[in-house]
Amino acid sequence: MPGSPPVRPFERAVILAVGSELLGPQRLDTNSLAMTAALNERGIDVLWKAVGADEPESLARLLARALADADLVLMCGGLGPTDDDLTRDVVARVLHRSLREDRAIIEAIAQRFAARGWEMPANNRRQAQVPAGAVVLPNARGTAPGLWLEHGEQGVLLLPGPPREMVPLLAQAMTAFVEPRAGGRRMVRRVLRMTGRGESLIDEVLQPLYRAWAAAALPVRATILAAMGQIELHLSAVDVDAGRAEAAVDAALAEARAAIGRDVFSTGESLEAVVGELLASREWRVAVAESCTGGLVAERLTAVPGASRYFEQGVVTYSNAAKTQWLGVEPALLAEHGAVSDPVARAMAAGVRARAGSEVGLAVTGIAGPDGGTSAKPVGTVVIAVALPEGMSSRTLQLTGDREQVRFQSSQAVLDLLRRTLGG
Using 50, 70 and 90 to split pLDDT, how confident is the model at 4? low
CA distance 69 to 12: 8
* 320-342 pLDDT tens trace: 999 999 999 999 999 999 999 99
Alpha carbon 384 to its chain's center: 26
Which domains, from first to last, does the chain contain? 8-179 (3.40.980.10), 186-266 (3.30.70.2860), 271-421 (3.90.950.20)
CA distance 165 to 162: 5
Beta bridge partners of 168: none
Residue 246 has pLDDT above 60, yes or no: yes
For residue 6, the model assigns a pLDDT of 65
User: What b/e readout covers 236-274, taking b as 16+ CB neighbours within 10 angstroms?
Assistant: bbbbeebeebeebbbbbbebbeeebeebbbbeeebbbbb
Task: List CB contacts of 341: < 8 A, sequence separation 6 or more.
Answer: 365, 383
For residue 184, the model assigns a pLDDT of 62
3-class DSSP state of 179? strand
Q: Which amino acid is at 413?
A: A
The H-assigned helical ranges of 102-179 are 103-114, 163-177
* 211-225 pLDDT tens trace: 999 999 999 999 998
Alpha carbon 303 to its chain's center: 13
Residue 185 has pLDDT above 80, yes or no: no
Q: Tell me whether residue 369 is exposed, middle or buried, using C-beta atoms within 10 angstroms of its C-beta: 0 to 12, 13 to 18, 19 or more.
A: buried
* 52-110 pLDDT tens trace: 999 999 999 999 999 999 999 999 999 999 988 999 999 999 999 999 999 999 999 99
CA distance 4 to 45: 24
Contact 84, 20 (CB under 8 A): yes
3-class DSSP state of 393? strand
For residue 45, the model assigns a pLDDT of 87
Beta strands across the sheet bearing 391-398: 311-316, 286-290, 360-366, 381-388, 391-398
* 349-374 pLDDT tens trace: 999 999 999 999 999 999 999 999 99
As a whole number, the mean pLDDT across the chain is 94
Q: How far apart are the first and last CA of the chain?
A: 46
Give me the phi and psi of 134, to 5 degrees please: -75, 145
Rg, Å, the chain Cα set: 26
Residue 41 has pLDDT above 90, yes or no: no
